[in-house]
Structure formats: structure tokens, C-alpha cells
Amino acid sequence: MDYKKAGVDIEAGYRSVELMKQYVAKTMRPEVLGGIGGFSGAFSLNAIKSMDEPTLVSGTDGVGTKIKLAFLLDKHDSVGIDCVAMCVNDIACAGAEPLFFLDYIACGKNIPEKIAMIVKGVAEGCEQAGCALIGGETAEHPDLMPEEEYDLAGFAVGLVDKKDLIDGSSIKPGDTLIGIASSGVHSNGFSLVRKVFPMNSDALIRYNNELGKSLGDALLTPTRIYVKALKAVKDAGVKIKGCSHITGGGFYENIPRMFPDGIGAKIEKNSYELPVIFKLLQKTGDIDWHVMYNTYNMGVGMVLAVDKNDVDKCIAALKAAGEEAFVIGETVAGEKEAVLC
């Protein structure tokens, strides 16, 4: 008896590391000390010398049951982007720059080529966010997980000068709420998605006229990463008073999270065009609209609160950064809640 016969292939682990090195290398920043394969990742903090009060901001998350679609379609090069996005978007909400990222992959069986595709996506996400992939772990779990399945989670650390933290404290009634378009369902609510749509490869790969692509392609579209977009707004001289990443809990939970007490939001549902995937999801599942807005991003991946005098400059900066942005509402005095009308 040996470890391989027990279900853990150490040689496959070595092969996975070799295959992923080319993708990890693309994410390197000058601050990274050392390379892949060490026991830990080292990152120089020389940059903090220029800050008054350097502040670390961290985030951790996973992809959730969206991974089930990757299994069904045998497509593993995009969920890594989702994993990075879920972490770095939260960090960006605080006004911080993501510095580095680490991933954790648990699998039933280490298939090096599959693991390399997952990490390729993680590296792509890190490139989009401008952060370095400085380490990770691939754990083989025989008897705990089916051989063909895996789970993916990550952890990111960012840096901001305390004076530049976005904490919502300056938000007042009459500020404008700007929505930045999502790329689709992102990485939340897939337990419901999988109950609404048939989860078989034939249904997922079939071309859908309403979507202009297959349902599987629409649902696996990676979560949009907003790090560079928010930096563009800051560089344009616009003060972002508050920022909400619209994840699980949709509009109702996430938008109020940026507000101080005594401030709420009035959101105009018809202020932008609802993406087809959400219309199709609601219609097919006969889902109550309140549930939709309480579960999904509904086409808005990030919401910013800015002074009404900065709206045009903010939207222009977002569009120049390649984002679609629109006014979706305003802040009001009252309960710390989002009211949709």
C-alpha cells in the first residue's frame, strides 16, 4: 500500500504546479519576493512608506454552486475569474488596491490539466485586478469528494491610505446612486438557478435566441471585476462616498450596507434595461420580483454613491474605463433600507 493507492497522487500535484507556472507568472508585480512553490508568498510593503496611515483590507470568498455548471460543461477556465472577482470587488468597495491573492482548490482527484485550467482563470482574474497570485493550495480529498468534482475559494489583501477609505460616513440625503453594469448573474443565486433551468449538458449547450448564445455560456460568464473602474473614478477627481458590491442578497441587502444610520435609498427599477438572462430566469421559474431583487444583481454589479454635482464626471470616467454606468436612484433621509419603485 502507498499514498497513491490510498487516493492521493503526489506526482500529479507536482505536474499541476508545473502546468500552472506559466499563468501565475503573468500576474507578478515588482513587490513579489520569490516565486511559486515555496511554503509561503512574500510581498514587499515598501509602498506604505508614502502613506500617512497605511491600512490593509482583506476579503475572502468562493464561487459557490456555479461550479456545478463547470462540471456539467467540462469548462474550468472561467470560474477562477469568478473567485478572484468575489474577493477583489469587496476590497475595491473600501477604496483599496488589491495587492495579492491566494487560492484554495479542493478536489476529489488531482487531474493536472484541469487544475491548470482553473488556475489559468484565477491568474486571468488577478491580471484584470492588477494583483499578484503569490500562492495557493491544491488538496486532493479521496472519499470526501467525487473524483470529478472540486471546490474553489480564495483570499485577497489590499492596501489603502486610511484617509482614502470609502466608509459611507459622508453620504447625505440627495446624493446620487450610480449603477455599474454586471456581466450577468455573476456568482450568486446559483442554487436557485439550478432549480429553474434544466441542468444537463444538452440544455446548457443549446443556442438560445433570446440570449444570443447558449444558456450555459450566459450562466458561466465570469463575474465582472471593477477594480480598475473604481480607480478611474478616483483618478478623475471624483469622491466615491459609498460603494456596494451587489452579491448575494441583491439590492435589498447590499445597497444599505454602505449607508450610515438615518440614510436609505430610493431606486428606480426602470432606470436601466434589465438584462435578458434575468427576465428569462424570472419567467421560467415564475419567481416573485421581490425575490429576484433580493437574490440577484439584476444587471448592476456595483453601486456608487456620489455627490450630485459629480455624476457626469463619474459616469464619463466609468465609460472611459470600458464600463456601462447609469443613474439608478438617490439617497434619502429615513430607514437604512433600499426602496424600489
When comparing pLDDT for 14 and 308, which is higher? 308
Statement to judge: residues 215 and 293 lie in one domain: yes
Query: What are the pLDDT digits (tens) for 10-21?
Result: 677 667 778 788
Query: Hey, what amino acid is at 111?
Result: I
85 and 135 belong to one structural domain: yes
Among residues 164, 190, 212, which one ends one of the domains? 164
* CATH number of the domain encompassing residue 243: 3.90.650.10
- Domain for residue 4, yes or no? no
326 and 194 in a single domain? The answer is yes
Local confidence band at 237 (pLDDT 50, 70, 90 cut-offs): very high
C-alpha separations of 143 from 10, 93, 146, 148 in Å: 16, 39, 7, 12
Is residue 200 domain-resident?
A: yes
Count of domains forming the chain: 2
CA angle 138, 186, 23 (to 5 degrees): 40
Same domain flag for 18 and 160: yes
Domain holding 106, by residue range, is: 10-164
* 240 inside domain: yes
Residue 107's domain is classified under what CATH number?
3.30.1330.10
CA–CA separation, 19 vs 172, rounded Å?
Answer: 51
> pTM score, two decimals?
0.94
Q: What is the mean pLDDT of residues 187-197?
A: 96
Could you tell me if 30 and 90 lie in one domain?
Answer: yes
Higher pLDDT, 240 or 4: 240
pLDDT score of 1 more than 70: no
**Do 31 and 155 share a domain, yes or no?**
yes
Report yes or no on 16 lying in a domain: yes
Residue that the C-alpha cell 444599505 belongs to: 256
Return the residue matching grid coordinates 446559483: 190
Of the residues 164, 187, 220, the one at which a domain ends: 164
Q: Which 8-state DSSP code applies to residue 45?
A: -
24-47 residue pLDDT tens: 889 999 989 877 767 888 899 998
